[in-house]
Amino acid sequence: MSSQDETRPNGKKTDIGAEKEERYSYEEGEATEQAEALAEDRSDEELYEADTDENDDARKETAAAAAPAAMLAQAHEPQPAKKGGALGWIVLSSVLVIALIVVLIKPPFGGGNSEAVATVNGTNITKEQLYDLLVGASGKAALDNLIVENLVQQEMTASNIAFSDQDVTDELEALKLQFGTEEAFQAALTQNGYTVEALRQDMKLSAMIRKALESKTDVTDEEVKTYFDENKAMLGGGDEQVRASHILVETKEEADAILADLKGGADFAETAKAKSKDGSAANGGDLDFFGTGQMVPEFEKAAFALEVGEISEVVKSEFGYHIIKKTDYKAAVEPNFDEKKAAIRTMLIGQEARTQSDAWITELRGKAKITNTLEEEAPTASGAPEATDAPAAPAKE
């Protein structure tokens, strides 16, 4: 470990993603370790928690798609010491893509299709083979997702609940809260090869469920303000930071001699490269930006006290003797409540709506007549097919 790393006490980082309690936070497990974390807008089991039949996996995939693309991220955490860190997020749009492919390659009402979609050394791969493969992989979950979307849309129409592109935009703005800034959100999209248009499509069902159940929720102005106050860092706020370079040597005599050279006009970066024993020497002593609590106290106090461009006197720490140059400064950032309150309200309404969505969708299924040709159907006593709560297996007599 370089002395540059050691200067940062215990690798301490500014805590900008601390989980909050109760309704003002993302559920436990949503902001887990860096490479694996999902800040999921909901749990995969939440919509169909009671399902225990053979189609449980398909329903869980549908439940995931019912979240805003099941795509949420760790709270954006700018950390000067860590560049290009992985952003833990997952986008589950593939079920909808597979559903579209299935519709395109095989009519819904029958028959195989021996038309070749590819050949391997003269051997055909048929549309029928491709269809069966796609259905086996994710077809049931994709179809169930479309069934749920139709159930929700029909219920909204019957209840005269309007739904528009703006509702999807609202859902998207609530999602952006977890990235802190628009720039961080766009960077995450680029990093993962995703587009806003595709994300909006994935978020439609989640927005519909939120809108349909909004009248059954009770989010107050006080709750919105409380969430804002307790999550300012995640919402784009941040403490003041400085950027500094330093030269680290072992003795006071060495440091005094170097300081004299610098005051005489020697270049700081070149001197650091030549004489500093710190790992930052190769970069001219640059330590990038850091906030309070990230450096040892003596170093931090001196760095924050300097003016930009100013060089310190010799500073002693447990690592040796430092000469510090302050090169930049960022003032503390306070997020704007008026700019965030609508998205926060949307997010909190969504959280409340999802606590009701399991029972509500089960109720919609119970009232609906659903047929599903991807499910095995057992004949009723009369020989006629019986409507079921697709995609659950039909009740056997």
Kindly report, residue by residue over 84-122, the tens digit of the pLDDT: 222 233 233 444 444 444 444 444 434 556 788 888 988
Angle at alpha carbon of residue 247, lines to 308 and 322, rounded to 5°:
85
Q: What is the DSSP letter of 25?
A: S
pLDDT top residue among 111 and 147: 147
CATH 3.10.50.40 positions along the chain are: 241-330
What pLDDT, on a 0 to 100 scale, did the predictor assign at position 113? 64
What pLDDT, on a 0 to 100 scale, did the predictor assign at position 155? 94
- Where helices occur in the chain by DSSP H, the ranges are 3-7, 56-66, 94-105, 127-134, 140-158, 165-176, 182-191, 196-213, 221-230, 252-263, 268-275, 297-305, 337-367
Confidence of residue 327 (pLDDT cuts 50, 70, 90): very high
What pLDDT, on a 0 to 100 scale, did the predictor assign at position 114? 77
**Which CATH number applies to 241-330?**
3.10.50.40
- State pLDDT tens for residues 277-293: 999 999 999 999 999 99
Residue written as token pair 């003795």: 251
Q: What is the mean pLDDT of the chain?
A: 73
Give residues with Cβ within 8 angstroms of 290, minimum separation 6: 8, 80, 81, 241, 242, 243, 244, 300
- 130-141 mean pLDDT: 80
Q: What pairs with residue 330 in β-bridges?
A: 241
What pLDDT, on a 0 to 100 scale, did the predictor assign at position 228? 94
Sequence letter at residue 1? M
Question: Which tokens go with 208?
Answer: 């519909």
- 80-84 mean pLDDT: 28
pLDDT top residue among 388 and 370: 370
pLDDT top residue among 315 and 115: 315
Confidence of residue 390 (pLDDT cuts 50, 70, 90): very low
What pLDDT, on a 0 to 100 scale, did the predictor assign at position 21? 40
